[in-house]
Structures are given as C-alpha cells and as structure tokens.
C-alpha cells in the first residue's frame, strides 16, 4: 500500500507538470520546451515572496498563478507568435522555446544565484496522516487533489466553455478559426497563460514537497513529463493525469522489484513501448490522414 501511494504521489507531480505541457500541445500543436523554466521560475519566485514577505501558502498560490500566466503570455508573444505561418513553425518553436527557457533560467540565476533554495521550514504544516497503514503527508494529499481537480476543471473548460470551444476550433483548424472570426492570437495567449500558470504552481508544490529548488529542477521533471504526455496521449488532459500516475507507480515498483539503477529505464521503456504499440497514447485520438 505504501508503495502504491508513493507511486501515486510521485506521479501526481509528473501529472501536474504534464497537464500544462499537454494543454498547449493539444490545442496549439506546439511543444513548449520553456515550460521547465516556468516551473523553476514558479518555485524560485515563490520562495522569494515567502521569504521576503512571509506570505502564507494559500495566498502564494494565486500570486504564482499570475506570475506563471504573465510568463506564459511572454513566451507566446516572443517565442511562438512571430513564427505563426512559417512552414518550419514546429522545429522553430522548439528551438525558440528552448532559447527563451535558457534566458529565463539565466535571469533567475542573476536574481537569486545558483544555490539551491527552499521554503522556510514553517511555510507549510508538515502534518502526516495514516491511510490504510501507509504514512502520507498532508501536502502530498493536497498535491494529488490539486492535480485531479485541475484536470477536471480544465477538461470542463476545454469541453464546455466558450473559450474552450474557441480552443478546440483552433485545434481542429486554425485557418477556419480565423475565418470564423475567432481571435486566434488571444486564445493562443490564454492557452499559454493557463498552461504556464499551472506549470508555475506545479513548481511551488514540487518544491514544498521535496524541500529543494535549484535551477535544474524543471529540467529533471521535463523529461519525465514528456514521457507522461506520450503515455497518456498527446493533448489529452485526463491522459496526462493517468499517465503521470502510471509512471509514478511504475517507477516505485521498478525501484522495489527491478533495482533502482534501472528506474529511469522503466519510464523511458514504458514510453517507448506505448509509442510502438499505441502511438496515440492511452487517451489520445488517432488523427486521420487527409488526401
């Protein structure tokens, strides 16, 4: 049981990161590799705010949502929008987001130095709970709840709301969306803002959970998140959650039954297997080819 819960909690962090990742991919068909930098920025800016002003965590989350959203809009405006309509927008978007991510990280180093930082010890109550004979911390439960509810809210948003309809239209056919009078630019910005807001909050929760934030944390989770969104199905929000949880549990099982040296092999092996057996992922829809 403890094993299973450990896996679920580990996976919920992956899921939290991956949901923002997959949102942009599903709607705009772009892989935003600056997401890892946003994740790190959320963590480090969050630490700074708490350390300087003693803001309580419940107030920090909305602040970080805003910080993330602003970063997301900047990423969209600077690294993606100028590429719109270019035949190589796919490759170029990858590279420009890498460049933008590198700029964010080096500015973070300029602001906060390269040292590992952490939230003050009393930033979050370290309450522990016993469930089914396993020990879990309150924080882990909250992270899981946040991941699940974000997934539900976002899925609802994309499926039902006016904004969501716009997003789906763009996902189907950007040109048609423009013809229909949708403000493609604004909807793209909103999507990036949402995605990055989630990424930044994921950074805060991750840091609270492991008690360490360095410039490299986003990078370490990014690779796993890529595996998660493929396993779950590119662009699928429930897929990101389930994929994250599956990966978390698989890793914990690997540690216990295969050997910890091969843990990361399991993540990537799983990814590889899914790509070969079911390239659209567990929850992805297979796109039909048009002649």
Partner 1 sequence: MRRKLLSAAACGSTLLLALTACSAPAGTDSTADGSLTGTGTGAECVIDSAVPIAAAFSLTGAAAQYGEGQKNALELAVKDLNAVGGVTYELSVEDDATDPKQAIQVFDSFISSGASIIIGPTLSNTAKQTDPIAQDAGVPVLGVSNTAAGITDIGDYIFRDSLTEDAVIPQTVKAAVDKLGVKKVVVMYANDDAFTESGYQAFAAALEDQNVDVADTLTFSKSDTDFRALLNKAKQSNADAIIVSGLIDAAVPLVTQAREIGIDTPIIGGNGFNSPALITGAGEAAEGVIVGAAWNSASDNEQNVKFIEDFTAMYSSAPDQFAAQAYAGMQIIDQAVRATCSGEREDIKMGLGDITDVPTVLGSVSLNENRDVEHDALVQIVQDGEFVILN
Partner 2 sequence: MFADYTSLITLIALTAILAYSFYAVLIAGQLSLAQVGLASLAAFTSALVVPAEPLFGFIPPLAIGIVFGMFVGAIAAFILGLPVIRLRGVFLAIATLAFGEMVRIFLINQSWTNGAQGLSFSKLVGPGIAWIALAVVAYWFWRLSGSRLGRAFAAIREDELAATTMGIDVPRYRMASFVIAGAVAGLYGVLLAHFSRFADPNEFSFTAAVDGLVTAVVGGVTLFVGPILGSAFLSVLPEVQRVIGIDAGWIRPTISGVLLLVVILFLPGGLSGLIPRRKSAKRLIADPSLRPTLPALPAAGSELVSLSRLGKSYGGVHAVQSVDLTVNAGEVLGLIGPNGAGKTTLVNMVTALTPPTTGTGTVLGVPLSATTKAHRLAQAGVARTFQQIKLFNRLSALENVLVGGYRITQDTLLRRLLFLPSARRSEREAVAMASAQLIRVGLADKASNAAGDLSYGDQRRLEIARALASHPSLLVLDEPAAGMNHVEAASLSELIRSLAADGIAVLVIEHNVRMMLATCDRIMVLNFGEIIAFGKPGDIARDPRVLEAYLGSSGSDEDEEAASVLASENLAQVAADRDSDQSGHHSDPAPDGETNPEENR
Task: For residue 102, state whether it binds partner 2 (rule: CB under 8 A).
Answer: yes
Of 23, 9, 26, nearest to 205 by C-alpha is: 9
- Please count the residues of the chain: 291
Among residue numbers 224 through 243, which ones bind partner 2 (CB under 8 A)?
Answer: 226-227, 230, 234
Residue 6 interface partner, choices partner 2, partner 1, none, CB cut-off 5-8 Å depending on type: partner 1
Residue 121 makes contact with partner 1 by CB under 8 A: yes
Residue 84 makes contact with partner 1 by CB under 8 A: no
Task: Return the one option of partner 1, partner 2, none that residue 88 interacts with (CB less than 5 to 8 A, by type).
Answer: partner 2
Count residues binding partner 2 (CB under 8 A): 45
269 binds, among partner 1, partner 2, none (CB under 5 to 8 A by kind): partner 2
Least distance in angstroms from the C-beta of 119 to partner 1: 10
For partner 1, which stretch binds (CB under 8 A), given 78-86, 147-155, 197-205, 215-223? 215-223
Say whether residue 78 binds partner 2 (CB under 8 A). yes
Contact 129, 141 (CB under 8 A): yes
Nearest to 37 by CA among 245, 214, 193, 185: 214
Question: What is the enclosing helix (H) or strand (E) of 134?
Answer: strand 134-137
Binding test (CB under 8 A) with partner 2, winner from 126, 186, 268, 285 = 268
**CA dist., res. 100 & res. 106, Å (int):** 10
Residue 285 three-state SS: coil
φ, ψ (nearest 5 deg) of residue 111: -75, -45
* End-to-end Cα spacing for the chain: 51
CA-to-CA distance for 118 and 216, rounded, in angstroms? 14
* Torsion sign across C-alpha atoms 177, 182, 184, 188: negative
In the bound state with partner 1, the residue whose beta carbon lies nearer, of 54 and 113, is 113
Determine, following the binding rule CB under 8 A, whether residue 220 of this chain makes contact with partner 1: yes
| Phi-psi category of residue 250: left, alpha or beta, with phi > 0 → left and psi -120 to 50 → alpha | alpha
Summarize as ranges the residues that interact with partner 2 (CB under 8 A).
Answer: 25, 31, 78-79, 82-83, 86-88, 90-92, 94-96, 98-100, 102-103, 105-107, 109-110, 219, 223, 226-227, 230, 234, 261-262, 264-265, 268-269, 271-272, 275-276, 279, 289-291
């Amino acid at each position: 049981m403890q094993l299973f819960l450990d896996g679920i909690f580990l996976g919920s962090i992956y899921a939290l990161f991956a949901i923002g990742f997959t949102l942009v991919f599903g709607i705009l068909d772009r892989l935003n590799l600056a997401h890892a930098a946003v994740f790190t920025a959320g963590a480090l800016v969050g630490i700074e705010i708490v350390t300087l002003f003693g803001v309580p965590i419940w107030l920090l989350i909305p602040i970080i949502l805003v910080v993330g959203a602003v970063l997301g809009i900047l990423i969209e405006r600077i690294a993606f929008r100028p590429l719109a309509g270019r035949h190589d927008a796919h490759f170029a978007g990858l590279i420009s987001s890498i460049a933008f991510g590198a700029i964010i990280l080096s500015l973070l180093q300029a602001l906060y130095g390269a040292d590992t930082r952490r939230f003050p010890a009393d930033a979050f109550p370290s309450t522990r709970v016993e469930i089914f004979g396993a020990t879990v911390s309150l924080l882990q439960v909250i992270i899981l709840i946040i991941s699940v509810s974000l997934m539900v809210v976002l899925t609802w948003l994309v499926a039902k709301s006016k904004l969501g309809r716009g997003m789906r239209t763009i996902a189907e056919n950007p040109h048609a969306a423009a013809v229909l009078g949708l403000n493609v630019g604004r909807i793209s910005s909103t999507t990036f803002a949402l995605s990055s807001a989630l990424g930044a909050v994921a950074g805060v929760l991750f840091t609270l959970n492991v008690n360490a934030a360095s410039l490299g944390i986003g990078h370490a989770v990014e690779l796993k998140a890529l595996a998660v969104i493929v396993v779950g199905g590119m662009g699928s929000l429930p897929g990101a959650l389930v994929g994250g949880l599956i990966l978390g549990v698989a890793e914990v099982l690997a540690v216990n039954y295969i050997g910890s040296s091969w843990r990361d092999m399991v993540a990537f092996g799983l990814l590889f297997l899914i790509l070969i057996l079911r390239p659209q992922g567990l929850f992805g829809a297979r796109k039909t080819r048009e002649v």
